[in-house]
Amino acid sequence: MRERFTFHRHWLDGWEEMTDGERHEYLEAIVRYGLSGKRGAMSRYVRGRMVTAMREMDEDAAREEAFREKQRRNGMLGGRPRKPNKTQQNPTEPKKAMGLQPYIKETRVPARRQAYSGGVSSSKYSEDTDNVVVVVADKGRTTCANDNDNNDLSSLVSQWNDAIKAAGSPMRPIRSLSPGTKRHTLALGLVKQYGEDGVSEAIAEAVKSEYINGHNSLGWVATFDWFVQPDNFQKVLEGNFAEMRTGKPLPSPSPPGEDGQPPAPARPEVGEEDRRGWRRLVEICRERIGGTFCSTYLDYCDIWSREGDTVTMACPSAFVAERIDKGKAREIVRAAREVWGKGTRMALTVQRGLPPPGRE
């Protein structure tokens, strides 16, 4: 029984072309063989994909076992040989002349203090350094770093906050970009790669994109951390989100009722035939997907409207909508086409305040 194994990324090549059943069987086979070394029952498709994975897991296990055996042999010999103590003076070598190299005290300033002191230590050893921080990296070797004006992103912070305020965007402003944080590193890399003009152009594209500002089926609104991701930034700069709009924005929350609970949303008129169709859809999904998924997510949803070939399903929260969209959306669409016809399409909407299962 192995305690761990290495999962190689290329094992997921062709993941999109696999069905949910094949994905589940494939991952289960990987975990089973990786931990126990047993193959088990597999379909022909999964068995063909597992050939490479099993060979690489065996090679990884062999390398790890060889490394452990080497460590055990070294331990039996008393461990790694010790090197001569460098602190002992060799009497055969002449002593170095004293006073040839000035002593420089090592001053390390925390990143938070540097953000307020401009990167200059308040220590008495660096008062006369003319805005230069002197750090002793090794004995007898010094490195100097000038004031990090080039790393100051306060203008980017102001530009981001001013842009979303001027456009009335629901995206949240940011207070600062502290050096050493992930968002500071990513933002600094974008400024160096695209320049300030490129970043300004991307911010302008972001604030005017309806999709990024919540006009989507889940009501999702982008954040600054999402914006500075290199892949997302490039898509925004290229205008990929300019004309993307997959749904209406979520309605503003209504004032609470007399009992303090939010009132139930006004539901469109849905005919009895469509309600029977929805109940039939849930039964089909329960047979094919399983009762666990349905009782956890699908039972809390309901048909919201049916206009033409589009059936809109209402979810009580964005979390439930995301789990359905990323989990079993394909199976639900297949069930809907069995109920309402082959050209049926499904849409998701978040409607807070839906009654729980069994209560209309």
In a domain, 258, yes or no: no
Do 121 and 141 have their domain in common?
yes
- Cβ–Cβ under 8 Å, residues 286 and 294: yes
Do 131 and 191 have their domain in common?
no
Look up residue 146 and give its two tokens: 């000038």
Do 117 and 69 have their domain in common?
no
Do 67 and 118 have their domain in common?
no
Per-residue pLDDT of the chain (360 residues; tens, 9 = 90+): 778 888 998 888 888 878 888 899 999 999 999 888 888 888 888 888 888 889 899 888 888 888 888 888 877 776 666 666 655 555 555 555 544 455 455 555 555 544 444 444 444 333 344 443 433 334 343 333 444 455 778 889 999 999 988 888 888 899 888 888 888 999 999 999 888 888 999 999 998 888 888 777 667 888 999 999 998 898 888 887 775 544 444 444 444 444 444 444 556 778 888 889 988 999 999 888 888 888 878 888 888 888 888 888 888 888 888 888 877 888 898 899 999 988 888 888 888 766 655 444
* HEC secondary structure over 116-177: HHCCCCCCHHHCCCCCEEEEEEECCEEEEEECCHHHCCHHHHHHHHHHHHHHCCCCCCCCCC
Do 141 and 161 have their domain in common?
no
- Cβ–Cβ under 8 Å, residues 135 and 123: no
- Cβ–Cβ under 8 Å, residues 273 and 241: no
Do 138 and 164 have their domain in common?
no
pTM summary value: 0.33
Do 177 and 200 have their domain in common?
yes
- Among 179, 119, 112, smallest CA distance to 145 is for 119
Q: Residue 135 is part of which domain span?
A: 111-147
Do 289 and 339 have their domain in common?
yes
Query: What is the model's pLDDT at position 135?
Result: 39
Query: What is the model's pLDDT at position 27?
Result: 93
Do 333 and 282 have their domain in common?
yes
SS3 218: coil
CA atoms within 13 A on the CB side of 22: 15
Do 125 and 167 have their domain in common?
no
Between the alpha carbon of residue 341 and those of residues 283, 301, 334, 345, the distances in Å are 17, 21, 10, 9
Q: How many residues does the chain have?
A: 360
* ∠ CA 312-244-164, rounded to 5°: 110
Do 16 and 54 have their domain in common?
yes
Query: What is the model's pLDDT at position 251?
Result: 44
Domain count across the chain: 4
Query: What is the model's pLDDT at position 122?
Result: 40
Residue 87, beta-bridge partner list: none
- Cβ–Cβ under 8 Å, residues 185 and 151: no
